[in-house]
Amino acid sequence: MKLAVVGATGLVGSEILEVLAEHDFPFDELLLVASERSAGKKIEYKGKEFTVIGLSQAVAEKPDIAIFSAGGDTSKEWAPKFAEAGTIVVDNSSAWRMDPTKKLVVPEINAKDLKIDDRIIANPNCSTIQMVLALSKLRDRYGIKRVVVSTYQSVTGSGIKAVNQLMDERAGTEGEKCYPHKIDLNVLPHIDVFQENGYTKEEMKMINETKKIFNDPTIQVTATTVRIPVMGGHSESLNVEFKEDFDLQEVKDILAATPGVIVEDDVANNVYPMPMNAHKRDEVFVGRLRRDESQPNTLNMWVVADNLRKGAATNAVQIAEYLVEHSMV
């Protein structure tokens, strides 16, 4: 087993290496890959030092699996080259998510749809992953008509440049800017670029990816995505209209039994999900479960996850684990 991590020097790449170590992912050879300008850098993994190599050399090495987290342009150019060399690519970017020939996978929901000839597999958007995982078993039980989601997203979702902007502003120093406005002590209702319909690209990702993951074009989703000055993870307020009525205790039981979900819902003791507690955790946390008293069959819920973990690195590693466990590589 030869495993490549493409984008190994970035925020998500570093997180992938942490998750691989924690999950004790089985491989015989590890290739750490980045742009040519990063080739030659040294990265430590499990006490051993590895030298970063460029993309051309990595393709020539013909890894069995390559986990990509190097941006959409890199994925568009290089994922097909790896695939042609016989590698299965698990891609974290948005490059292939809505390609009808590529699977968009959250392992707990639809890894069973993967086939041996799927050579490029797309990892969904971070905010989509935590939402659909929290909803998956509830949808199986009650059916879902419509979801209204508002997100409260960590600056880590924008990469190290955004983290540095927040820290610079907090320290009162000048530095490189990621956002068009100050982020410290502020809230930006603006993630990714605005589209002609007035929604941002991030909002449209949540809408379109949810339909594809659930293989259900009838499910209605509307989203408002917001950047806030935190670093632990993304939070989401969901208003979910089911096709059938529900029992609130049964909802809690279903969520508690959903793989990868942890229920934190004890408001009497101020227990509810928060990004600072989700940080460095693989699970999706759900709480503030309550009926929407303004219309029938509708549930309000609060969903939190570390966007660099289940929203990116963990989900990608879990896809790779599924491929290994099912002898698809």
Q: Is 234 designated active site?
A: yes
Annotated ligand binding at 227? The verdict is: yes
Phi, psi of 90 (to 5 degrees): -110, 110
Annotated ligand binding at 93? The verdict is: no
Annotated ligand binding at 153? The verdict is: yes
Annotated ligand binding at 59? The verdict is: no
Annotated ligand binding at 150? The verdict is: no
Catalytic residue among 126, 181, 190, 279: 126
Annotated ligand binding at 9? The verdict is: yes
Q: Is 190 designated active site?
A: no
Q: How far is CA 151 from the centre of its chain?
A: 14
Catalytic residue among 178, 181, 234, 279: 234
Residues composing the chain = 329
Task: Report CA torsion sign: 11, 69, 153, 280.
Answer: negative
Using N-to-C axis directions, what is the helix angle for 126-142 and 201-213, rounded to 10°? 40
Scan for tokens 């016989």, then name that residue.
86
Annotated ligand binding at 12? The verdict is: yes
Assign 3-class secondary structure to the chain.
CEEEEECCCCHHHHHHHHHHHHHCCCCCEEEEECCHHHCCCEEEECCEEEECECHHHHHHHCCCEEEECCCHHHHHHHHHHHHHCCCEEEECCCCCCCCCCCEECCHHHHHHHCCCCCCEEECCCHHHHHHHHHHHHHHHHHCEEEEEEEEEECHHHHCHHHHHHHHHHHHCCCCCCCCCCCCCCCCECCCCCECCCCCEHHHHHHHHHHHHHCCCCCCEEEEECCECCCCCCEEEEEEEEECCCCCHHHHHHHHHCCCCEEECCEHHHCECCCHHHHCCCCCEEEEEEEECCCCCCEEEEEEEECCCHHHHHHHHHHHHHHHHHCCCC
Annotated ligand binding at 249? The verdict is: no
Binding region: 9-12, 37-38, 97, 153, 227, 307
Binding region for substrate: 153, 227
Residues annotated as part of the active site: 126, 234
Binding region for NADP(+): 9-12, 37-38, 307
Binding region for phosphate: 97
